[in-house]
Structure 1
Amino acid sequence: MAQLSNNVIKCVEEEEKEEDYLLSKEWKGLVSTLPKEQGWLSRNIYKYQGFWYDTKHIQGVLSLQKHFKAKEKDIILVTTPKSGSTWIKALAFALLNRHKYPNAQKNHPLLTNNPHLLVPFLEISLYSKKDFVPNLDSIPSPRLLSTHLPFVSLPESIKNVNCKIVYLCRDPKDVFVSLSIDESFKQFCRGVSPFGPFWEHALGYQKESLKRSDKIMILTFEKMKLHPELVLKELAKFIGCPFSKEELSKGMVDDILNLCSFDNLSNLEVNKNGKLPNGAEAKVFFRRGKIGDWKNYLTTQKIQKLDTIIENTLAKHGLTF
């Protein structure tokens, strides 16, 4: 019994140390009142505004909501973890900067920088440090930024100024096998996953896009893989930089797709051996980039379970993969 008590005390002390390190005094009181469960990617996972966040992310979420001021020309890329964030960042960055860097194979920032450095996550990178608020006013317009936040938790300024939002969704089965399998399956199905529930996250943006399709674009990873040229043209038009006839005739679409392809990006030195400022290895953002890879990992029972959830949540609202 004494040993058990000592273990409990040790766990509590470690949790307190983690929170002291990651959370500012401003948010500790609020976070202490939130429902929490044991995470599979972190010690704890907290429920805030109906969605779940790791300790290392909740600080950024709260700071972002309070301090971020959106501009009308901002472009916000939204994904859930492991839904194609790296790819959509690379494509959007290449599209917006194609006139500045017309030669995709010479001196292009994507050749020497991981896409997550060029298009940083708001809550994970820019607003994640406690007691620090970044000044983003110096970023030239249109600002290209990204987030994993569900629609309900976006800063009010993003919703109110009507900036462009591009939401990329992916088959939950492929999302899940990119995260983990055995330990986390039940939690994932219950919605207790980082930035989850996955289906509520997707539906939030799907429903908003029906109200204002000129401001919120819904893409799927599967459509991007199957029809990359079509999707890239649609994306370019949506974010306000459509391809000219001259660009199309010169093969600009193929140039960008080749530059941002999984094979090209994953084999660059910066992505094979580089690290991000937080110490994460760049290569972890490149898994396999395939459709249907879940077939190699999930049992029939798990597939049926997830398919049932998808049918009862996403499919009936028109979101299919």
Structure 2
Amino acid sequence: MSSATPSQSSERCLESLKVANLSLILDRYMDTYNTFPKEKFYMNEDLYLYQGFWYRSGGLVLHGFISIGTVMAAQETFQANPYDIYLATLPKSGTTWLKALAFAIVNRTKYKTNSLSTHPLLISNPHDCLPFIEHEVLRTRPTYADLSDAHLFATHIPYPSLPKSIIDSGCRVVIYICRNPKGVLISWFHFINKLIEKSYGSLIIEEVFERFCKGMTPCGPYWDHVKSYYKASLEHPTRIMFLTYENMINDSENNVKRLAEFLGYPFTEEEKANGVLQEIVKLCSFENLSEVNKNGKTCGGVPKNAFFRQGKVGDWSNYLTDEMSNVIDQITLEKFNGFDITF
């Protein structure tokens, strides 16, 4: 399984993710997406509605290089390998944790003889250990160009909008993790306020809540994004695994075991006896990852510590009024009617 070493991650930061490439991509697709419905986002940026989902117009602030231009470019150019593994999430749903877990599981043999201090997850951010497919269009040499091995990729693109090559490849596995919409909302609220330019001032929860309920968040609406992968998991249960953040938190060891089996890297009896599973859970814990990522920025230019706040379930109750909570509950009840999606 191909993945980035710390030195390779640094090289990609400096050489492969080209801001100039982003400008070319945005220019290339601008005439097309400027015809799409749009709404104002934050910091005078626009959100564009494309194939039923909202995407940002830019790409350098708030969430790295992911924007409508890079999504459209990925659809056109990304080349999937049938042995690739894809991790899919809506932003602020557990992406960083899922990346860390998948990376640690599939690479545990590669790094098991090294001292702990050399493990990539102890010196690098999970986002720099495996790439987003939306970033591949920015590289001078895309990761997928190396056909000698399978790759781990992540994406925020909803299932119906995935590059055709991924769907047609019959890729071995897609892992999707979703999170209680209230948790996503509050995590997004704090993430924006941590990264927003000070000249624009802080956003208030009421403003973020209103936009969220209207579905106007990057890669949203939340409910449609979740349903797209849930339906796909029912149609392709052997290839697509549907997880919830809350269940992963509440029973980490059993879920990591299930995840390893689905990925095709099950823990052996010897590994179980030697505590390898527990070591991976600890390595990828919020406490460890947040300590490692106190300083610096990711390849996408986002402060590493912005991805770590609490890692707890239910913190939304400290920010949402009962009325707000009831509104989201009602929307969720209506949108998920007939689906066995619980938190």
Do the aligned residues in 1 keep the contact of 2:80 with 2:144 (CA within 8 Å)? no
Q: Does the 8 Å contact 2:75/2:164 carry over to 1?
A: yes
Letter in 1 for 2:179: R
Equivalent of 1:311 in 313, 333, 339: 333
Aligned partner of 1:78 among 84, 88, 102 = 88
Counterpart secondary structure, 1:316: coil
Q: How far off its partner does 1:152 sit? A: 0.8
Q: Give me the whole-angstrom Cα distance separating, in 2, the residues matched to 1:22 and 1:183.
A: 33
Given that 2:78 and 2:136 are in contact with CA atoms closer than 8 Å, whether structure 1 keeps it comes out as: no
The structure, 1 or 2, with the larger RCO (C-alpha pairs under 8 Å, 6+ apart) is 2
Q: 1:84 to 1:22 in 2, by over 3 A?
A: farther
2:246 is the counterpart of 1:235: no
Give the distance between the partners of 2:257 and 2:179, measured in 1 at CA. Answer: 20
- Where does the alignment leave 5 or more consecutive residues of structure 2 unmatched? 1-21, 60-66, 190-204
Q: Which residue matches 1:30?
A: 32
Name the CA shift for 1:171/1:106 in 2 (closer, same or farther; >3 Å): same
**Is the 2:132–2:155 contact (alpha carbons within 8 Å) kept by the matching residues of 1?**
yes
Matches within 5 A, 1:1-321: 21=23, 23-40=25-42, 43-55=45-57, 56=59, 57-102=67-112, 105-123=116-134, 125-128=135-138, 134=142, 136-138=144-146, 141-163=149-171, 164-180=173-189, 181-268=205-292, 271-314=293-336, 316-321=338-343
Q: Distance in 2 between matches of 1:142 and 1:232?
A: 21
Shift of 1:134: 2.7
Cα deviation, 1:36-81, whole Å, max 9, x if unaligned, reads 0001366100000000000121111011000011111110000111
Inter-partner Cα distance in structure 1 for 2:25 and 2:236: 36
Letter in 1 for 2:333: E
CA distance in 1, matches of 2:95, 2:251: 18
Give the AA of the match of 2:257: K
Q: Which runs of 5+ in 1 are unaligned?
A: 1-19
Structure 2 counterpart of 1:70, which letter? A
Q: Percent identity at matched positions?
A: 43
The answer for the alignment partner of 1:5 in structure 2 is none
Q: Does the 8 Å CA contact 2:81/2:144 hold for their aligned counterparts? A: no
User: Which residue does the alignment assign to 1:17?
Assistant: none
CA contact (8 A) 1:79 1:85 kept: yes
Contact 1:67/1:133 (<8 A) preserved: no
Pick closer, same or farther for the CA change 1:109–1:187 going to 2, 3 Å: same
Root-mean-square deviation (Å): 1.7
CA distance in 2, matches of 1:73, 1:314: 32
1:78–1:153 CA distance, 2 compared to 1 (3 A): same
- Aligned partner letter, 2:177: L
Counterparts of 1:208 and 1:65, CA distance in 2: 18
1:135 positional shift: 5.1
Given that residues 314 and 320 in structure 1 are in contact (C-alpha distance below 8 angstroms), is that contact kept between their aligned partners in structure 2? Answer: no
TM-score by length of 1: 0.88
- The structure number with the bigger radius of gyration is 1
CA distance in 2, matches of 1:42, 1:74: 37
Q: Distance in 2 between matches of 1:87 and 1:140?
A: 27
Aligned letter for 1:299? T
CA distance in 1, matches of 2:246, 2:300: 30
Q: How far apart are residue 28 of structure 1 and its match? A: 1.4
Q: What amino acid does structure 1 have at the position aligned with 2:297?
A: K
Distance 2:29 2:213 in 1: 29
| TM-score normalised per structure 2 | 0.83
Residue 128 of structure 1, CA deviation: 4.8
Q: How many residues align?
A: 297
CA distance in 1, matches of 2:150, 2:257: 18
The CA distance in 2 between the partners of 1:200 and 1:37, in whole Å, is 18
Q: Which moved more, 1:252-261 or 1:40-49?
A: 40-49
